[in-house]
């Protein structure tokens, strides 16, 4: 089954690269059952217009557009709201949670 934006004809793009837009009533129902702020933020980000546009960027290294495998892994896991790493202690002795939130707060891994 080919996924495409609802209400728009299929394009010549690779199947599955465009986010599927949800009817607003279904989006509202899904959002209403999300109680965890992280889940809610992930859902809103994933359903926002152009949220998947980065997947269409050509991986041109000279323009800084090529992501290595680890960068893609982290980006995809963050988009899906799943854990990025095993919780551990940072070298600064702060705890790093499964979503790597500490890295965004301090700029270190
Ligand atoms: Zn740290």
> Residue ranges of the domains in the chain?
17-56, 68-109
Say how many Å lie between the CA of residue 96 and the centre of ligand 1. 8
Say how many Å lie between the CA of residue 69 and the centre of ligand 1. 23
SS (H, E, C) the chain: CCCCCCCCCCCCCCCCCCCCCCCHHHHHHHHHHCCCHHHHHHHHHHHCCCCCHHHHCCCCHHHCCCCCHHHHHHHHHHHHCCCCCCCEECCCCCEECCCCHHHHHHCCC
Say how many Å lie between the CA of residue 100 and the centre of ligand 1. 10
The per-residue pLDDT for 58 is 94
The per-residue pLDDT for 90 is 93
The per-residue pLDDT for 104 is 85
Per-residue pLDDT of the chain (109 residues; tens, 9 = 90+): 444 455 555 555 555 555 566 788 888 899 999 999 989 999 999 888 888 898 899 999 999 999 999 999 999 998 888 999 999 999 999 999 999 889 888 755 4
The pTM of the full predicted model, rounded to 2 decimals, is: 0.65
Say how many Å lie between the CA of residue 102 and the centre of ligand 1. 6
């Amino acid at each position: 089954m080919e996924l495409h934006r609802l209400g728009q004809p299929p394009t010549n793009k690779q199947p599955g690269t465009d986010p599927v837009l949800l009817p607003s009533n279904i989006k509202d129902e899904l959002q209403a059952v999300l109680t965890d702020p992280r889940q809610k933020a992930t859902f809103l980000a994933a359903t926002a217009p152009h949220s998947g546009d980065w997947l269409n960027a050509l991986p041109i290294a000279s323009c800084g557009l090529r992501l290595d495998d680890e960068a893609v892994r982290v980006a995809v896991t963050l988009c899906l709201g799943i854990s990025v790493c095993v919780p551990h202690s940072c070298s600064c002795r702060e705890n790093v949670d499964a979503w790597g939130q500490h890295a965004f707060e301090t700029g270190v891994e």
